[in-house]
Amino acid sequence: MHILVSCFCKFFMILMSVCVPCRFSNMIPNGCLIFEDESFLDSTVAKMNALRKSGQFCDVRLQVCGHELMAHRAVLACCSPYLFEIFNSDGEPRGISHVKFDDLNPEAVEILLNYAYTAQLKAGKELVQDVYSAAKRLKMERVKQTCGDYLLSKMDCQSAISYRNFASLMGDGRLLCKIDGYIQEHLVEISEQDDFLKLPRLKLEVMLEDNLNLPSNDKLFSKVIRWVQHCLLENGELLERLMEEVSMRASLGPLTCFHCPLVLQKKPLRENFQKQGSISSYGSLSPGSSSQLCKPEWKCIASEKTNSNTYLCLAVLNGVLSVIFLHERGSPLSSPSSTPSLPKSLSFEVQQEGPEGKLCIPMHYARSGLGTAELNGRLVAAGGYNREECLRTVECYDPKWDRWTFLSPMRTPRARFQMAVLMGQLYVMGGSNGHSDELSCGETYNPQADEWTQVPELRTNRCNAGVCALDGKLYVVGGSDPCGQKGLKNCDAFDPVTKTWTSCGPLNIRRHQAAVCELNGLLYVIGGAESWNCLNSVECYSPESNTWTLVSPMNVARRGAGVAVHQGKLFVVGGFDGSHALNCVEVYDPARNEWKMLGSMTSARSNAGVAVLGGVIYAVGGFDGNDFLNSMETYDPEINEWSPCMRATVTTTE
């Protein structure tokens, strides 16, 4: 037997020297052989992973949310300290081990198993957070850090809030620190995003005594946070109750000139507290409460003075990511739930024009993501958001009198929607109220009765959809999916006579925040975004063939642009290119199927309203990259220039 083994060993060494690439080290004095097989490791791990996938020689079974994954105990114990502790426990029975996970993604765990066997981590971007969560649970620190670095490399203003919520949920201090640094640099841009608008908020009005000034941002919001803590700790308030108070006066510490009425809506608070995994009673800090043991976070992440009398702060209050708005006394507080006590009417007396060339007065409220339309020679601006909240107020501008007046407010606060005129009435559909998922409700405005009434709901919740009237029907085109991350191909038509919705041919490209208008009996959808990548493509819909056809693309990819029809051409105004709010304008000639750049606006405007009054194109409101706007400007095609809005010359009669 010994001779056979010896012969086999000699034969094996000869075979290896012929078939396997090898490397011999220098001979050492005692004559030992040292051999290194460079291909052995790669070949072995690949075979072991194949054995795992086929279930051969496996001695551990992972049950992940109803899915069963087989593996080898020794391999997993080497990669996961968490599993090592389980396998090494005294009470572990012999045979196949069973480990159950009810809160991990099976795809993410499979990715980690592949990594354990091959040292290669391959995960689609949509799975990175799930892989991070699984790696944290299994105590695979290097994988967790790699996933965190990947998220940081992909973070932008759109994703910053969701990434911070994720990092907070994971308790990753390193990741939180880097995300907070990004938020501090980009707070103004982040404050325009949907995730920011859905956060719970405190609205404070600061009343200053004579000859007193507000302190710096950091000191100011430190006092605000200490005041909130005082209300909870000293007065035994619950954070939920504090935020639900409609009117409350309190002193912010030793600076007695601060008295702050708080306003916060109830429904979004409950939703956000629940989503962020808060403790029962929403963070009671009364003596002996359990929250004292877990020491929830209190901090100001970033703050910004947005104009002369308004401050914005993103803070963590008792572990809950929240927004604080602070106004100096005298600045109006807009509330979508109240009707402005200002005159409202669609009937105006024609009065003698003032001096020609005077600037138009701005809207009462700054608005972005608003709905605009021309109705009876006047410009109607409805809803939108102003960093603090979505509005239900509606304003009407008469160029003859250069005056904004209020109409009846909409029934529902909404932003990121479009408005159209059909059979002499205004229609709004979908959008977002800033606190919940996209809306499916719609309403119509009767100018004679000055009132809004509901219309049948959309079949799906829809935000950032285009709305346009064509051939006696109302069309709703594209929009965001229920998660707000993808564009839709859906197109639906509403018949105001039968009050029913029907489906139309789908778009060729998913898109939301697209501009939509009617020209020459056709429907055009322009630009927008497929996910968050801006588009320059344009599609044209024929109601006869019920199909969409791609036409010549724009020169500039943009979402959130406004569109107007003037002199048989389409004018696309402003928008957002993925990095900046735009002031550039281009025009489409359907006869030539070509686009041409025009003179730029005086202000960059994304999500602005655009309408044509008396042959003049008006752009109103929007976001310029720093501020929410209430200003207007007009376009003069004769000189190809935009200018701050000027009064039109009119002829008056007695």
By C-alpha distance, which of 135, 198, 185, 127 is closest to 157? 185
Tens digit of each residue's pLDDT (9 = 90 or more) over 103-129: 899 999 999 998 988 888 999 999 999
Residue with tokens 């009198």: 401
The stretches in the chain having pLDDT less than 50 are 1-26, 211, 242, 244-294, 330-358, 646-654
> What are the backbone dihedrals phi and psi of residue 511, each rounded to the nearest 5 degrees, phi first?
-160, 145
Res 339: pLDDT: 36
Contact (CB, 8 A) for 49 and 118: yes
SS (H, E, C) 355-410: CCCCECCCCCCCCECCEEEEECCEEEEECCECCCCECCCEEEEECCCCEEEEECCC
> Are β-strands 473-477 and 425-429 bridged in parallel, bridged antiparallel, or unpaired?
unpaired
Residues 6+ apart with CB under 8 A from 545: 505
Place of tokens 């649970």: 137
Whole-Å CA distances, 499 to 163, 429, 440, 457: 42, 14, 15, 10
Count CA within 13 A, CB hemisphere, residue 418. Answer: 29
> To 5 degrees, how large is the angle CA 528–CA 533–CA 535?
40
pLDDT of residue 178: 94
Nearest to 573 by CA among 595, 558, 552, 593: 558
Ordered DSSP codes for 433-449: -SSSS----EEEEETTT
Q: What integer pLDDT is reported at residue 34 of this predicted model?
A: 79
How far apart CA 567 and CA 575 sit, in angstroms, is 22
- Strand ranges across the sheet with 378-382: 371-375, 378-382, 394-398, 403-407
End-to-end CA distance of the chain: 127
Q: What's the whole-model pTM score?
A: 0.60
Per-residue pLDDT of 72-103, as tens digits, reads: 888 888 889 988 888 887 555 556 678 889 88
* Token pair of 491 as six digits: 């197109």
- Inter-residue contact 337 to 392 (CB < 8 Å): yes
pLDDT of 494: 95
The pLDDT assigned to 36 comes to: 77
Element holding 231 (H helix, E strand): helix 217-233
Tokens 């009064």 correspond to 647
Predicted pLDDT at 615: 87
**Nearest to 374, CA basis, from 105, 140, 562:** 562
The residues near 593 (Cβ < 8 Å, ≥ 6 apart) are 551, 552
Place of tokens 């630009």: 527
